[in-house]
Amino acid sequence: GAGVSQSPSNKVTEKGKDVELRCDPISGHTALYWYRQSLGQGLEFLIYFQGNSAPDKSGLPSDRFSAERTGGSVSTLTIQRTQQEDSAVYLCASSLVQGAGNEQFFGPGTRLTVL
């Protein structure tokens, strides 16, 4: 079956430009997460969507970062006015139900390079 997909797989952009990263979760998964991983570092939580509840945005590093999830499925992470420190791999994950085992299934990530 289809897993979590992300696009693009790689994105190179110039400082100051806006970028949009897309995540297609596994069908039927109600929870969706965005993480960021810098080179050689662990995962940094960014934002979490659960069903129709208000998203948990507590991990977003600045107001240049935003995310939305349309129709409870596809999610888009937007970074405005990108900075070089935004360069990282952005990972998306989905899980079936929050709080009941909630094994997360990860996508392959989008590698963002800000020049």
**Chain residues that interact with other proteins, rule: CB under 8 A:** 33, 35, 41-43, 45, 48, 56, 58, 91, 93, 98-99, 101-109
Residue placing its CB nearer to other proteins in the complex, 43 or 80: 43
- Is the distance from CB of 75 to CB of 92 less than 8 angstroms? yes
We find the least distance from the C-beta atom of residue 90 to other proteins, in angstroms, to be 12
CA–CA distance from 51 to each of 13, 30, 54, 70 (Å)? Answer: 32, 5, 9, 11
Instruction: Classify 72 as helix, strand or coil.
Output: helix
Min separation Cβ 70 and other proteins, Å: 21
For 17, 111, 114, the CA distances from 70, given in Å and listed in that order, are 23, 23, 27
Nearer to other proteins, 6 or 87 (CB): 6
Nearer to other proteins, 27 or 58 (CB): 58
